[in-house]
Structure 1
Amino acid sequence: MRSHEQQIPLTVIAGFLGAGKTSWLNARIAAGDVGDALILVNDVGAVNVDVASIEYRDDRVVALSNGCLCCSLGGTLAEQLSQALRIKERPAEIIIEASGVADPARIADIARLAPGLRLEEVVVLVDASQATRFAADSLVGSLWQVQLAAAQRLLVNRLPPEGRSREDLLCWLGERAPDARLEILPLSVHAGEMESCGEMESRASELKNSVMADAPAFTPRRPGSGTDAVSTISAGPHGLAHESVSFTQAIDTSVVESLLHEHRDVLLRAKGFIRCRDDGQKGMECWRSLQLSGGRLVWRPQVTPASRSALVCIGRGGERFAGLVRCLEALGGHALGR
């Protein structure tokens, strides 16, 4: 058996869709907190948007293409970790950024079972502005609470201003992550975000009107104790659905915004790199990244053109979600499939 010093420490970064995992990881990299690491990034959809957003050495950022890392201990993840343990210049640490629909406890089991790895920490990010809504949601509530229960460190993002509601919310989150060290993320992690078309939903109003006591009680379910949460929510016509749409031509940002706003009742997350028509200069085109989560739609300039213009949408399966995909295809796109 390998000694403690020979084992590679492995950190799992998890959290529900749009919690801020990639932003936090990039902030750590920029601060010099990530040394000689191998970063494995999992994403939902045919286009791995998150891996292209990691600001680290290209040869040390690996995209996992197996979908969600939610249930299996095998497949792509196990293969990549096995390769990392065999290379001559092994990384000093391994960081796994899980998809927003993954169960971090299942991923952490890999480090507990592999002789060459040592579980360093399970870090879970939570979007406080959406917490009570997600916890009470019949579709995603179980998975959301499974993620919090697995946390060894819970990073709270997008808290309301100082006041009683803030303290109550922190206490409520702590109860759902009883084994975690709770930390509040600094505002600098999300500095520079410019919201477009305002808030698609009023997050402040939602927090004010949420009654945290209405959220269901929850007993953590460990692996092997029953049907996996992700399998449950993905089954049937009303489970989570995802689709990747690739665009063959430049599109108007205002049209995309309008479609996403119109389907906000079924859309949980949207992200991608899009070749846009520049409204300020006729005939000019530019690349931008799009991120939508928690009712916030953010465009950012994309200096380096992406390999393809595409948008990944994740939401509640059904005709409404299928209708959104069809509308996006009508803009000159085509679905890439899962």
Structure 2
Amino acid sequence: MRKATATIPVTVIGGFLGAGKTTFVNHLLATGGPRTAVLVNDFGEINVDATLIKGHDGTTMTLTNGCICCSIGTSFIETMCEVLDAEVPFERIVIEASGVGDPWKIAEIALIEPTLRLDRVIVLADASRIAALIDDARVGATVRSQFERCDVVLLSKTDLVDAAALGAASAAVLGLRPSLRIVATTRNSLPTLDAPAKASTFRADSPAASDHSATFRSFAYRRDGAFDRGRIAGAVAALPPELLRLKGSCRLDGEDAPQVFQMVEGVWSLSPADQPDTAGIVLVGVGTADLPEPAVLDAILDRALAAGAAA
């Protein structure tokens, strides 16, 4: 790792599945600012505006504004070393934590590595769901842990709830830590990282990392061909409630443009994809530990395939 002449500020972004991390990271990429390296779990998690992409090699997207978007892949440390060894040093690093992970575990890297400086830990919380998630018997412990050491909470999707629900969401978060700073946001009113932040006052002696594999299970669905638009609703309705999140890209029968598929706890949507070369169907999901076997989920989603699509 090259010896740096100055420390690089690191911002870690956390939040439970469907909280809006993708929207926020994409916003940061689009708004420019300092030369930034954005590290995400997988490119499938980020739909970068095609007009921003200068080129990509499957591991790193080079953007026209001088920033890059890197896939963390199998080794976070290796990816971080590559970023720090870049020919032209980056001025800022933004890291998106897993939706079921503890963002503080990533933030600790910035406290240990002398070339890095922890700027802030930001956690997004969906205003329409956070109060229920905090008390949820299945995922509540994971959700609550994400707020334990963050510096600021972005309460997202506030335009989708009424005043009473917004108040309940804020109260639920403040019930965990009364001193937390909460910023209400919508898709069209997200902040930037231009304002300096005080270094986190938390020490790096936090408890050992939790074994999320004992609490959550992942799921991947890949098919050639396309979905039949008329069958998707029925298939999604048949998915078990243990499947908390499902997202990815897909083709629709008879339509040229690929679609981004999003589902959070049974609520789903399709929207045009920014990448026109997307082929077939690739969906990734996260569920609770009692999520049915992949073959069961495959069979449900296969019901939505267009006639003649490969199952």
| Cross-structure match for 2:81 | 82
CA distance in 2, matches of 1:288, 1:166: 31
1:325 corresponds, among 295, 298, 307, to 298
5+ residue gaps, structure 1, are 67-75, 191-219, 279-283
Does structure 1 retain, via aligned residues, the 8 Å contact 2:246–2:264?
yes
Change (3 A) 1:40 1:143: same
| Cross-structure match for 1:289 | 260
Is 1:49 matched up with 2:20? Answer: no
1:139-179 CA-partner distances (Å, limit 9, x unpaired): 21111011122221100013364534432431221232445
Is 1:277 matched up with 2:259? Answer: no
| Cross-structure match for 1:183 | 183
Change (3 A) 1:285 1:82: closer
Is 84-93 or 294-303 further displaced after alignment? 294-303
Change (3 A) 1:155 1:3: farther
Change (3 A) 1:28 1:10: same
Is 1:109 matched up with 2:108? Answer: yes
- Alpha-carbon distance, 1:28 to partner: 3.0
5+ residue gaps, structure 2, are 54-60, 63-67, 191-201
1:311 corresponds, among 279, 283, 289, to 283
- Alpha-carbon distance, 1:78 to partner: 1.3
Query: Which secondary structure state, in structure 1, belongs to the residue aligned with residue 154 of structure 2?
Result: strand
1:251 corresponds, among 220, 223, 227, to 227
Counterpart code for 2:207: S
* Stretches of 4+ aligned residues off by more than 6 angstroms: 2-5
Does structure 2 retain, via aligned residues, the 8 Å contact 1:275–1:309?
yes
- Alpha-carbon distance, 1:109 to partner: 0.2
Identity of aligned residues (%): 26
| Cross-structure match for 1:31 | 31
Is 1:299 matched up with 2:266? Answer: no
Does structure 2 retain, via aligned residues, the 8 Å contact 1:152–1:179?
no
Change (3 A) 1:324 1:7: same
- Alpha-carbon distance, 1:327 to partner: 2.6
TM-score by length of structure 1 reads 0.73
CA distance in 1, matches of 2:97, 2:108: 14
Does structure 2 retain, via aligned residues, the 8 Å contact 1:157–1:184?
yes
Does structure 2 retain, via aligned residues, the 8 Å contact 1:151–1:177?
no
Matches within 5 A, 1:88-103: 88-103=87-102
- Alpha-carbon distance, 1:87 to partner: 2.4
1:215-256 CA-partner distances (Å, limit 9, x unpaired): xxxxx9x86535x33x1x522xxx422111111112213323
- Alpha-carbon distance, 1:105 to partner: 0.7
What is the RMSD of the two structures over their aligned residues, measured on CA atoms? 2.9
1:281-307 CA-partner distances (Å, limit 9, x unpaired): xxx443111111254312111251225
Aligned positions, number: 278
| Cross-structure match for 1:209 | none
| Cross-structure match for 2:22 | 22
